A and B are shown apart, each in its own frame.
Chain A
Amino acid sequence: MEIFITGRGVISALGRDTEENFKALRNQSTGIRLGSYADYPDKYLGTVSQSSEELSDFHSLKNGYSRTALLGLTAAKEAWGGLEASDSCKTGVISGNSVGGMDRTEKHIINLINTGENGDIRSILSHPCGYSTSLISRIIPNCSYANTISTACSSGANAILQAAKLMQHGKLDRVLAGGTDGLSNFTVQGFSSLMIFDAVQCRPFDANRAGLNLGEGAAYLLLENEKSLRESGNTPLAKLAGFGIANDSFHQTALSPTGKGAVLAMSQALNRSQLNAEEIDYINTHGTATENNDEVELTAIQTIFEENVPHFSSTKSYTGHTLGASGAIEAVYSLLAVNNNCVFPSLNIKEDMNHDYPALKEVIDQEVTNVLTNSFGFGGNQTTLIVSEC
């Protein structure tokens, strides 16, 4: 059974819709800036330029929604488009995120600790991961299924994978799937405590890379099967040709030296897509720019692709690491590569890593038929998706 991608939406540090994101990628223009998040003026972060108040206004909502929910709603509306209700198609939403409405929760708690004042207690109601999914489900007419996946940094990719699985088993015909995560002090402090922040803009696949920059955003794909297509009349943009998921079972936060989980996820995805490794034109890597990730991911890629390693890059050098949203954002970028026949480079590489294959450093216009994209997360979660031309 084929799964068609018929809509996409994205908001990130590169812009508030797909077009703005594409332009920035084409122009090799990063969204990572110093001091873009008021609480951490000394950090380079990929912050979405609209404030939560501006996003609330844009959606005609009163203030008080979590940033995760507002970013998600923005990308979800773009991806869903104006598709009308269907009586015969089973319709659902599956969204990934890592920390739910933490931006609202921590504001409440920090205020309580610092001033002893309770503030608006209702702000903690947006804390559960499912809260943003519930808000998004309201824009989907006749939505009969909602799910939220939380596998840390691979949440968005796993939401898309879960959608594909339910569609293949006939549980759903039409799914809005992706992920969202807003920046919070919680995650900035968390990654800071792990000491994996680069003090400057991150340099994925550079020999001297020194860690990641965090970012925020959201992205969704509209997935439809043939039955749904007949009813919607939508033209497919591409298809979700393959997906794979495995666990590295090595360490809570670090990857195994050989990238066993990554190798398993990529080979499963290739098998499912019935593609040979040499048919992949571009890999949008997980590429966080940490010492461990890029070394292991490149090792795993070479294990799978041997002498046929295609162009690869990390678009986290544009957006920062958007955690639970990243897998979905990068699935949209993979779709953009297929639709526009071009591949996007990694930024900030001065010296290649000591491997046989260097990462892509310039935009290349070429035929792009199949793109593979990786998402890895804490807890050893490893997921690969393949986006292919129809």
Chain B
Amino acid sequence: MLKLKYINTFSGINVQNSDPKRQDWLDILNDEVGEITFPDFKKYIEPRKLRRMSKLLRMTVSCANCCVENMKGFELRGIIVATGLGCLDDTRKFLVEYSQNNSASPTAFIHSTHNTIAGQLGLLLQSHSYNITHANTGACFENALMDASLEDHNTNEWVLLGGVDEQIDWLDKLKIQLEDFSSLNLGSGCTFLALSATKTNGAVALQDVDSFLLSNEISAKNRILQFLEQNNITAGSLDLILTNQEIDIPDYGEVEQINYQSYCGSYFTNSTFGIEFAIQRIRSGDKNVLIINHHEEKQIGLTLLGDA
């Protein structure tokens, strides 16, 4: 049984959209994955706090604050973050500093841990409740969403759930030397969601989420089939399938299929971009949307969203 049934709001910054308040960026979709344009962070974060934050933390706090604003009257009961590579730029900074000088200042080290993101949110929002960070490369967002959906809650409580990864110049330099990755279009992005048991205006239903490690016994196609059957999705009742790569999908009639990764670029938590995409489509009339996050042939994350 899913416990937190509704995604009430989202706030994101990605290569397509630099406004964490914008809820309708499907209209401005551009099929080129360019550089991310950052918003004026001062609009979302107190300047005093802003100064010491990396770009990744600035994105995080801006989006989280937008969710908080939308959930006034509800009590924050948990902070869950998914990140594939964590605070990469601070990791790079510290690594370079001690490699060159054989000593380093602690600032970058303190901010280099993956849970700096959720930890800083706990601190800023003064939340003593559940706080955890999922980091299982490309599958981390669905793992985190599953975790969130199992949280116990009361009707006036909510959970802040985010996925964030940053692209730094280093990644591009390293990638071109690696055959399997050299053609990837790297992106970065940050999405935060507000989940609760009670729906507010604009909410979509989180019908189900699962994360699988694939084996020789069960193919991706069969996992998808099982997942849809469990949720009583019949041919014709699915409006849209969002994927991040070419994948063999079971026959569900004429279903529109869109590759979200071609819009947001490749990063470990980019299925959050698919979630934002799906929420907008459901708000404009779709009933059921499936988001498939298939990663490195081994992992598959499946999220089914529907109208509330």
A interface with B by C-beta (< 8 Å): 92, 98, 105-106, 109-110, 113-114, 118, 121-122, 124-125, 127-131, 133-134, 137, 142-152, 158, 162, 165-166, 169, 171, 185-186, 189-190, 192-194, 245-253, 260-261, 264, 377-381
Contacts and interface: CB of A to CB of B under 8 A. Distances in A.
Contacts of A106: 95, 99
22 contacts: A130-B140, A133-B136, A144-B213, A146-B139, A146-B213, A147-B140, A147-B143, A150-B134, A162-B147, A165-B147, A165-B150, A169-B150, A192-B103, A193-B104, A193-B105, A247-B127, A247-B130, A249-B126, A252-B111, A261-B128, A379-B120, A381-B119
B261 interface: no
Interface residues of B, number: 61
B122 interface: yes
Contacts of A253: 110
A146 B129 contact: no
B178 A189 contact: no
A378 B132 CA distance: 12
Interface stretch (B78-86, B183-191, B197-205): B78-86
Most buried by A among B1, B100, B134, B268: B134
A264 B128 CA distance: 8
B106 A379 contact: no
A144 B212 contact: yes
A12 to B, nearest CB: 22
Given A162-B147, A189-B104, A381-B115, A109 B96 contact: yes
B217 A148 contact: no
Given A144-B213, A144-B215, A147-B139, A252 B119 contact: yes
A98 B130 CA distance: 19
Contacts of A133: 136
Most buried by B among A109, A129, A194, A253: A129
B143 to A, nearest CB: 5
Given A247-B122, A252-B119, A380-B123, A190 B132 contact: no
Given A109-B99, A149-B135, A377 B115 contact: yes
B99 A113 contact: yes
Contact of A380 (B95, B103, B131, B139): B131
A171 B105 contact: no
Contacts of A125: 178
Contact of A190 (B1, B106, B212): B106
A145 B136 CA distance: 11
B74 interface: no
B114 A128 contact: no
B132 A145 contact: no
A131 B296 CA distance: 12
A148 B142 CA distance: 12
B110 A149 contact: no
B86 A150 contact: yes
Given A147-B139, A149-B133, A249 B123 contact: yes
B33 interface: no
Contacts of B135: 128-130, 148-150
A124 B181 CA distance: 13
B115 A194 contact: no
Interface in B86-112: 86, 94-96, 98-100, 103-106, 109-112
A128 B109 contact: no
A17 to B, nearest CB: 27
B135 to A, nearest CB: 4
A34 to B, nearest CB: 19
Nearest to A383: B132
A260 B122 CA distance: 13
Contact of A194 (B103, B106, B134): B106
